Amino acid sequence: MPKLNVVSEVFPLAQVFKISRGARTEAHVVKVTLTEGENTGYGECVPYARYGETVEGVIADIEAQADALARGMTRKELQDAMKAGAARNAVDCAYWDLEAKRAGRRVWEMIGHKAPEGLITAETLSIDTPDNMREAARKIAHAPLLKVKLNGESVLESVRAVREGSPKARIIVDANEAWSLDLLEDIGAELDGLGVEMIEQPLPAGQDDGLIDIDCPVLLCADESVHTMADIPRLANLYDMINIKLDKTGGLTGALELAEAASKAGMQLMTGCMVGTSLAMAPAMIPGAMSRIVDLDGPIWMARDRENALTFTNGVMGLPDRDLWG
């Protein structure tokens, strides 16, 4: 039966990461280890204050399952024992890793998927002045896909600046709930003209019903509004796309269920992440291989990453090492 170990870790960022809700200089993560005999599975989650999570609370939720795990609780049973969120994500991903090592196979082989090779991840530009964002875009002009973090100020000026700094890149933008319906209607056509491919979570979650009445020329993607497959019936008429994050779905198991439900509803897929290490990104590459847009650049922000870290070459992600995950 698996033996549980859970620890909190802090990884400094190479530069300040700023979104509409604030800025951070460190990534606070929780790492789970499940050991059974000679095999060890690993998982990582990022507790997120936006969803009422703390490092201490997540660790307590995970440790509360220690006895059940020791008695042989299965990954399927885990889905009912824990609610969707960061805590279940870390345990679920550690379970997948452990199962793969028991079987001597890669996780994607176990579920009949192709290897997630050649994924192109977005590289993120955090909120700054338009001039600074232009310069930041120039520095990563090699990146084929840029994600531009925005608030409700200087939106068009910022996107124009990024486009000037990187004329050839695909661009997506993320408002992190900072816009109004009026602002979205006012600038949608201009963003389309600047080559913006997708707008992520323009309105606050739970206050986005008005999207049903607008005709935006740019794809609209739900992030904070979508956590699990239960959200799809409401969102299918509001958004064109959903952002799958394992810290929201409660792990790879829930992510695969969400991807299937959204696809059946005619929605396109994006796979994203919180700011975490390569250990958090590796399992997300599996739904990433099913997605139109991949945003798994968390490790690029790290001043240091884990051993056996993922590689990133001009935006292209290398397959995860077996010793990292999966």
pLDDT in tens, 145-188: 999 999 989 999 999 999 999 999 999 999 989 999 999 999 99
Mapped to the 3 state alphabet, what secondary structure does the chain carry? CCEEEEEEEEEEEEEEEEECCEEEEEEEEEEEEEEECCEEEEEEECCCHHHCCCHHHHHHHHHCCHHHHHCCCCHHHHHHHCCCCHHHHHHHHHHHHHHHHHHCCCHHHHCCCCCCCCCEECEEECCCCHHHHHHHHHHCCCCCEEEEECCCCCHHHHHHHHHHHCCCCEEEEECCCCCCHHHHHHHHHHHHHCCEEEEECCCCCCCCHHHHHCCCCCEEEECCCCCCHHHHHHHCCCCCEEEECHHHHCCHHHHHHHHHHHHHCCCEEEECCCCCCHHHHHHHHHHHCCCCEECCCHHHHECCCCCCCCCEECCEECCCCCCCCC
The CATH number of residue 27's host domain is 3.30.390.10
Same domain, 147 and 184: yes
Mean pLDDT calculated for residue range 204-221: 95
pLDDT-derived band at 22, boundaries 50, 70, 90: low
On whether residue 324 sits in a domain, the answer given is no
Same domain, 97 and 148: no
On whether residue 111 sits in a domain, the answer given is no
Query: Of 101, 147, 245, 248, which one is the catalytic site residue?
Result: 245
Same domain, 215 and 302: yes
Listed residues 77, 105, 133: the one ending a domain: 105
Question: Is 114 assigned a catalytic role?
Answer: no
Q: What is the model's pLDDT at position 18?
A: 65
On whether residue 110 sits in a domain, the answer given is no
Same domain, 281 and 211: yes
pLDDT-derived band at 19, boundaries 50, 70, 90: confident
Mean pLDDT calculated for residue range 28-42: 97
Same domain, 130 and 269: yes
Same domain, 99 and 236: no
| Cα torsion 286, 287, 288, 292: sign | positive
Looking at every residue in the chain, the average pLDDT score rounds to 95
pLDDT-derived band at 25, boundaries 50, 70, 90: confident
Q: What is the model's pLDDT at position 278?
A: 98
The CATH number of residue 195's host domain is 3.20.20.120
Query: Of 31, 147, 149, 248, which one is the catalytic site residue?
Result: 149
For 49, residues 6+ apart whose C-beta sits below 8 A from its C-beta are: none
pTM of this prediction? 0.95
Same domain, 290 and 148: yes
Domain count, the chain: 2
Is residue 17 pLDDT above 70, yes or no?
yes
On whether residue 91 sits in a domain, the answer given is yes
- Identify the bridge partners of residue 148 per DSSP, sorted by sequence position: 125, 173
Best CA proximity match to 265, nearest among 242, 289, 285: 242
Is residue 284 pLDDT above 90, yes or no?
yes
On whether residue 113 sits in a domain, the answer given is no
Mean pLDDT calculated for residue range 68-90: 96
On whether residue 268 sits in a domain, the answer given is yes
Mean pLDDT calculated for residue range 113-117: 95
Same domain, 140 and 99: no
Same domain, 91 and 164: no
Same domain, 177 and 205: yes
Are 232 and 262 in contact, with CB atoms under 8 Å apart? yes
Listed residues 79, 105, 131: the one ending a domain: 105
Same domain, 145 and 266: yes
On whether residue 249 sits in a domain, the answer given is yes
On whether residue 56 sits in a domain, the answer given is yes
Instruction: Give the range of the structural domain holding residue 137, as residue numbers without chain letter.
Output: 123-317
Same domain, 135 and 282: yes
Question: Is 264 assigned a catalytic role?
Answer: no
